[in-house]
Amino acid sequence: MFIKQISIFIENKAGRLAEITAMLAAEGIDIRALSISDTTDFGILRLIVNDPPKAEKLLRDKGLTFSITNVIAVGLPDRPGGLAEVMQALAGSGISVEYMYAFLTPQQRRRACIIMRVEDTEKTLQVLQQARVETLREEEVYSL
């Protein structure tokens, strides 16, 4: 039920993001979702890719500073207040979300998908299940 997310330390300089995405593309690695947080100096690039082991090997060979963590992908109910319900369920169980970002799935069943990083992934999954929130499986996200 966890999705592997790759976080890469990057310097905030022109062209660096292009270099890294081109490097992944050259190895046939597709980016499913992406987020960047940065200051003026440096940033953290967070990626969901179709082939995490391959990406990990590539980044290691290139000597980049990175980490791989488990995150949760939530399929958002397609109605007003959907996200609010999810957040309330989590808050009600004392779970705080460290960061999250969203993307749209490209297929016929078009919906919003939220990538979430929380402290206690197991507990969060239970809470989401009880609240009948859809969580996406690994293969599902990688093969989107």
Partner 1 sequence: MSNKIWNPERECMRRADLEALQLAELKDLVDYCDRNVPFYHKRLQEAGVTADKIKCLSDIQYIPYTTKQDLRDNYPFGLFSVPKKDLVRIHASSGTTGNPTVVGYTREDLDNWSEQVARIVTAAGATDETVVQICFGYGMFTGALGLHYGLERIGATVVPTSSGNTEKQLKFMRDFETDAVVATPSYCLYLAEAAHELADKFPMEQYKLSLGLLGSEGCTPEMRTQIEERWGNGFFVTDNYGMSELNGPGMSGECRCRNGMHICEDHFLCEIIDAASGQVLDKGATGELVVTNLTKRAIPMLRYRTKDITNINYEPCACGRTTARMHKIIGRSDDMLKIRGVNVFPSQVESALIGIDQISPHYQLVVRREGFADTLEVRVEMIDGSLLEKYGELEALQRRIHHAIKTILGIEIKVSLVEPKTIERFTGKAKRVIDLRNQ
For partner 1, the closer of residues 55 and 144 by Cβ is 55
CB of 127 to partner 1, least distance (A): 21
Q: How many helices (DSSP H) and strands (DSSP E) are in the chain?
A: 5, 7
Written as one letter, the residue type at 25 is A
Structure tokens given for 144? 């989107």
In which region does residue 90 sit, left (phi positive, over 0), alpha (psi from -120 to 50) or beta (all else)? alpha
Q: How many residues does the chain have?
A: 144
By CB under 8 A, is residue 15 in contact with partner 1?
no
For partner 1, the closer of residues 78 and 120 by Cβ is 120
Map the footprint of partner 1 across residues 63-122, applying CB under 8 A: 63-67, 69, 98, 117
Q: Which stretch binds partner 1 (CB under 8 A): 23-31, 62-70, 105-113, 132-140?
A: 62-70
